[in-house]
Amino acid sequence: MVDHILSILIFFPVVAALFGVIVHKDSIRAYGIAVSVIEFALSLWLWFAFDGQSSGMQFMESIPLIPAFGINYTLGVDGISVFIIILSTFVTLIGIASLGEIKNLKNMIITLLVLQMTMSGVFAALDAIIFYVFWELSLVPMLYIIGAWGGPLRIYASIKFFLYTFAGSLVMLVGMLFMAYFYNQATGEWSFAILDWYRLILPENLQLWLFVAFFLGFAIKVPMFPFHTWLPYAHGQAPTIGSVILAAILLKMGTYAFIRFSLPLFPDASVFFMYPIAVIAIIMVIYTAMVAYGQKDIKQVIAYSSISHMGIIIIGTFALNVEGISGSVFLMLGHGVVAGALFFLVGVIYDRRHTKIMSEFGGLAHSMPRYATIFGVMMMASVGMPLTINFVGEFLSLLGFFKQSQILTLLAGVGIIVGAIYMLTAYKKLFFGEITNEENRNLPDINKRELVALIPLTFLAIWLGVYPKPVLDPINTSVESIVQLMHDKAQTAEAKRRIPSPLSQMTIPVSSIEEAH
């Protein structure tokens, strides 16, 4: 069974969703929780069976689909994808477990289970076509979640979300088709397998074009400036559960794809585009943080803060060394936990007051002390307090990029200042001061159902901040092999220099300093 665990992880939820159609609506909640518990347990088993010392792909499965064009159903995970899959099952579980009383609960749970399938699929796929299929399929449940359960502007927001990301993905698809065509030209065979593509060394100018094609698809998904404007609408209109999954998992598809495709396939182009992308990332970090500060709606603050944090992830990815990429992968998980929790927290007051405008609140720390505490912990995690999950990722991402450019890192580091500004200001507006609005005086504090979601997230945010080793070690192993691959494939001298080989650099560079003198 463990040989097919990835297929089970992908298709179990969708099969369960199909059966869910015939489950009575009074028992659908229990059914949904049971399914997602099993799914989560399976993903934990995946982690348990996963060998953290091995850098290659594990639990690989392959079934030919269209042999004439080398399209196979190929799955596999390494240290990078395995944790994102676990995070996705975890977030789905707590998301379903903490769902409030909403209309059409049954449809929502079925949609979420289908969404779970696409998420596992994207991160487990090792064939470009399979990857693309899941990548696009994931839009559908989210379109439905925003469009059916969203706020007043939900139709506009969901269509914008769908068309925008879809348009980018089509360019990416053209890039993938060209990759396969080039593979065919080079080897005489067709293949869409990512691992086959890894072995291919492309001419530099071709790399540049393909990099741009893939970049468009990924950048819109991340979303990178200036392609980010769909996100505030999507978050603003989506129901709590939609925002949580969108922020925690769906955005990570873009950053994950950079590491899975762009870096190893196009190492020279990655070096070529490193500075432009870093500049975009810095704009994301500072500009969106300032926009976040200007918001009046607490959910929009968190939405824009997501973009700001994604900027740091991009910076870490394009550090092109082990420290930076490990940091960016870890920050993906960190941001998943923290942004997910913050959206949950916003949902808590929205359920009580049906407004998200910050000026409606104030002094909530008097009436909802427990809520204020958890929000405070998550806020501190969001601004990157050491010993919380985000610090590890941010620190390593910035540390990694510092090797490439000191000035740009300094600019990206401004994120820790502007991040504190919008978060602390928002927190002050919500929680501090006297209660000015009588409606806030007797708000019930956080309840058990909400704690089901928030306690595990809080625990994770602190546990992985204090002791990131169990997760960071496997990530490190896989990232080392990717960086080594990039180093070996790099053709230009510039790229060889920019991408250090992790295996040859085992010694502390002190000795090299001594030699230099």
Residue nearer to another protein on the CB measure, 187 or 406: 406
Q: 257-268 burial by CB neighbour count: b if 16+ within 10 A, else e?
A: bbbbbbbbbbbb
Q: How far is the C-alpha of 274 from the C-alpha of 165, rounded, in Å?
A: 23
- Rounded Cα gap, residues 192 and 130, in angstroms: 9
Among 8, 28, 246, 396, binds another protein (CB under 8 A): 396
Choose the binding region for another protein from 81-89, 251-259, 401-409, 490-498 (rule: CB under 8 A): 401-409
Terminal CA-to-CA distance of the chain, rounded, Å?
59
Using the rule CB under 8 A, is 147 a contact of another protein? no
Q: Give the CB-side neighbour count of residue 404, counting CA atoms within 13 A.
A: 34
Q: Output 194 or 411, the one with its CB closest to another protein.
A: 411
What are the percentages of helix, strand and coil residues in the chain, rounded to 5? 75, 5, 20
Answer yes or no whether residue 414 interacts with another protein by CB under 8 A.
Answer: yes
CB 467 within 8 A of CB 479: no
Q: At closest approach, how far in Å is the CB of 295 from another protein?
A: 7
Window 326 to 385, contacts with another protein (CB under 8 A): 326-327, 363, 365-366, 369-370, 373, 380, 385
Shortest Cβ 386–another protein spacing (Å): 4
Least CB distance to another protein at residue 345 (A): 18
**Size of the residue set binding another protein (CB under 8 A):** 72
Interaction of residue 417 with another protein, rule CB under 8 A: yes
Name the residue nearer to another protein (CB basis): 117 or 418: 418
Q: Which is nearer to another protein, 1 or 513 (CB)?
A: 513
The tokens for 363 are: 């002094």
Cα 288 to the center of its chain, rounded Å: 18
Helices 389-404 and 406-431 sit at what angle, rounded to 10 degrees?
160
Q: Which stretch binds another protein (CB under 8 A): 64-72, 173-181, 322-330, 337-345?
A: 322-330
Nearer to another protein, 146 or 241 (CB): 146
Of the candidates 132, 164, 197, 214, which one interacts with another protein according to CB under 8 A? 164
CB of 86 to another protein, least distance (A): 19
Contacts of 57 (CB under 8 A, 6+ apart): 76, 77, 78, 126, 195
Q: Give whole-number Cα distances, 421 to 341, 360, 382, 428, in Å.
A: 20, 20, 12, 11
Residue 203 in contact with another protein, rule: CB under 8 A: no
Q: Nearest to residue 92, comparing CAs of 119, 65, 72? A: 119
| Nearer to another protein among residue 228 and residue 299 (C-beta) | 228
Binding segment for another protein (CB under 8 A), chosen from 21-29, 39-47, 321-329, 343-351, is 321-329
